[in-house]
Structure 1
Amino acid sequence: MDRVQLLLLGFPVFLFCSDLVNLFTPPPPKQHHHHHHPPPPSIHETTDFSATQSNHARGVYYGSVVELKFCVSCSYRGNAMTMKKMLETSFPGIEVILSNYPPALPKRLLSKVVPIVQVGAIAAVVAGDQIFPRLGITPPPWYFNLRANRFGAIATTWLLGNFAQSTLQSTGAFEVFCNGDLVFSKLQEHRFPGELELKDLIANRLPNSALGKNLGSVWS
């Protein structure tokens, strides 16, 4: 095997190993935010008023969580970041979490098989003269057609494999959850939510602010 063959085979193998590392490496553990909940109201009005001031400093919607689950491979991150900033500005103290909406299990498994098929096909094109005889197999007719244009065959295999992998990982999802409840689903509506629309949907799901509750208890 000459140097050109080694280079053509080694580069895809290197990319394949990188893909495997990215595919099978578990995501970093999520950092759990330890919320310091305000102290329970006391029977004294002064204690209630102190808790009210503390909640007001943190934000009147402190404790509420909105999760945006979107398709990362669909390049929806920009939309998610825009919605996150809008919600954090509109609802002080609210926590907005961004996460990937994973595809179904069969698609995830197939997406892990695609790189293996890619490298196997490229190895057959580059080093088929050594691989087939060692396996005791007569080279099939399609091998000679691919060998006549090795560079084009390798490029086509890699591009088609990457396209197939991207398609399998895509979900087209942009799902919005407020305190665990689904408030908008792009999979159901087949569109993105408008900023004003999403703001109204979240506002209808948020409980009354802790500030309003504490003030009511003070004046009662």
Structure 2
Amino acid sequence: MESANGRNLALLVLCLCACYALAFEGKEIPATKFGQRVAPTMTFLYCYSCGYRKAFEDYVNILVKKYPQIEIVGANYDPPGINYYLSKIIFALKIIIIISVVTSVSPFTCLGFNTPGWWNHLQSNKIYACMMIFFLGNMIEGQLISSGAFEITLNDVPVWSKIQTGRFPAPEVLFQIIDNQLQFTDSVQENPDFVK
């Protein structure tokens, strides 16, 4: 009776962890804002898992020097379609399996199946098994959410898409796009000290 209560409690904990993992939005990357005034806004949506945060910061440094009046905002680009939801499911499964291994609760016996031999191997090597499950789950999640995006909008008008072009914009090209989009002669003045 006591083992059945312990098994039911463990199953309840696993279900709660799965629900939390599915509802959990993951590591939220805070939007970065530069500038305090109401001005033209340039938004960068980039693939954080691809390591494009550094590229975003480089563009911010270049743009702030030339156009100090522009407000620049950066955020993570959520992957399109079902990949985002699949990554959340993988995250939940990873957590459930790790908790099952650590607590020695076999989901197979809870479901009425015979416990396979590989599960017994996981139980006998808990630390190794948990590390491998964690790293394998992270690798699959990373592949699912890796979009390669570096999307730039100026006042909510798309001006550059790395997904469509396959490359980052050269700074000179971005300057030309900004100048053409906002017609900087009247509304925003360039920094006269900017060295080209």
| TM score, norm. by length of structure 1 | 0.63
Change (3 A) 1:116 1:208: closer
AA matched with 2:164: Q
Q: Which residue of 2 aligns with 1:165?
A: 141
Provide the rounded CA distance (Å) in 2 between the counterparts of 1:200 and 1:145.
Answer: 61
- Tell me by how many angstroms 1:165 deviates: 1.7
**Cα drift, residue 83 of structure 1:** 0.7
Q: Which residue of 2 aligns with 1:139?
A: 115
Write the mapping of 1:87-102 to structure 2, written as runs, cut at 5 A: 87-102=63-78
Cα distance in structure 2, aligned partners of 1:197 and 1:30: 23
Aligned with 1:193: secondary structure? Answer: coil
For 1:180 and 1:131, the matched residues in 2 are separated by 49
Larger Rg: 1
Q: Which residue of 1 aligns with 2:25?
A: 23
Using the TM superposition, give the Cα deviation of residue 97 of structure 1 relative to its aligned residue in structure 2, in angstroms. 1.5
Where in structure 1 are there 5+ consecutive unaligned residues? 1-8, 36-62, 213-220
How far did 1:161 drift? 0.8
| 2:82 alignment partner, SS class | helix
Q: Distance in 2 between matches of 1:18 and 1:167?
A: 22
Per the alignment, in what secondary structure is the counterpart of residue 96 of structure 1? strand
**Cα gap change, 1:141 to 1:86, in 2 (>3 Å):** same
CA deviations on 1:9-32 (whole Å, 9 max, x unpaired) are: 9xxx9x99996785269888999x
Alpha carbons of 1:205 and 1:143: their partners in 2 closer, same or farther (altered >3 Å)? same
Q: Do residues 195 (structure 1) and 165 (structure 2) align?
A: no
Structure-1 residue corresponding to 2:153: 177
Q: CA contact under 8 A between 2:31 and 2:75: conserved in structure 1?
A: no
Question: Matches of 1:29 and 1:172 in 2, distance apart?
Answer: 18
Report SS of the residue matched to 1:23.
Answer: coil
CA–CA distance in 1 between the matches of 2:31 and 2:55?
Answer: 24
Distance 1:89 1:156 in 2: 46
Cα distance, 1:131–1:192 mapped onto 2, change above 3 Å: closer
Per-residue deviation at 1:180? Answer: 2.2
Report the secondary structure of 1:172's partner residue. coil
- How much does 1:182 deviate? 1.8
Q: Which runs of 5+ in 2 are unaligned?
A: 1-9, 189-196
Alpha-carbon spacing, 1:17–1:73, altered in 2? closer, same or farther (3 Å): farther
Other-structure match for 1:44: none
Query: Once the 2 structures are TM-superposed, how far is the Cα of residue 80 of structure 1 from its aligned partner?
Result: 0.6
> How far apart in 2 are the matches of 1:124 and 1:19?
15
Q: Secondary structure at the match of 2:133?
A: helix
How many residues were matched structurally? 172
Rounded to whole Å, the distance in 2 between the matches of 1:151 and 1:201 is: 53
Distance 1:69 1:162 in 2: 22
Residue 76 (structure 1) aligns with: 52
Give the structure 2 partner of residue 110 of structure 1: 86
Contact (CA 8 Å) 2:100, 2:106: kept in 1 or not?
Answer: no
Pick one of 153, 158, 181 that aligns with 1:205. 181
> Quick one: distance in 1 between partners of 2:174 and 2:74?
15
Amino acid at match of 1:186: K
Q: Match of 1:75, as an amino acid?
A: G
Q: Cα–Cα, structure 1 residues 177 and 139, in superposed 2: closer, same or farther, change >3 Å?
A: same
Structure with greater proportional helix content: 1
